[in-house]
Amino acid sequence: MNLLETLLNTQDGAMVRQMAGKFHLDEGQAKSAMDALVPALGRGIGRNASGAEGLESLVGALTRGQHSRYLDDPAALAGPEAVDEGNGILGHIFGSKDVSRQVAAQAAERSGVDSGVLKQMLPLLASAAMGALAKNGFGGDAGGAGTKALSDAQGGGIGDLLTGFLDADKDGSAVDDLLGMASRFLR
């Protein structure tokens, strides 16, 4: 299951319902917005984790945080800490607010949801994405798996897991997904 599927299927669609309610969308619009935003988040996380320093930072963030609470209880995304955490995550994976704005603008074109709504949704989905990674054994929420995964990174480990999880088009490689994202931002 990839990142988008994990978030869409959380608690039998509770994440979709939470996003719909918070942003005054119907569930179809919320799902469309998530479908447009989450792959960019996954590619950003994958790109950030492609180097040893980024991977170590990702595992550290997953180990220190309690990110899985957003999957256990999507209503937790209504709290201000979810926005604060999400903005911090976006800063790490995209590097600037300009990139986040570009992601929201492109997602608006794809989803038909207003880019202003998507800019507000993006940090919450970033927090939820980290929760999905934590729940899937990439961090401390999984009983120390993050430390083992980091030590296994050179021989597969988290690298293989991240590829499967972040591979938006399910072709077995996250590289083309990352390159596609980079090409859109370099235009």
pTM here is 0.73
Domain boundaries, the chain: 3-185
Q: What is the mean pLDDT of each run of 10 residues along the chain (187 residues)?
A: 83 93 96 94 83 74 79 92 92 89 95 96 93 71 39 39 53 51 42
Return the H-helix or E-strand segment holding 176: helix 175-185
- Secondary structure letter of residue 168 according to DSSP: T
State the Cα–Cα distance between residues 17 and 62, nearest whole angstrom.
Answer: 25
CA–CA dist 183, 186 (Å, integer)? 5
Owner of token pair 């077995």:
172
- The DSSP code for 51 is S
The pLDDT of residue 38 is 92
In the prediction, which pLDDT does 179 show?
45
Contact 48, 54 (CB under 8 A): yes
48-95: pLDDT as tens digits: 877 777 777 777 777 777 888 998 999 999 999 999 999 988 988 888
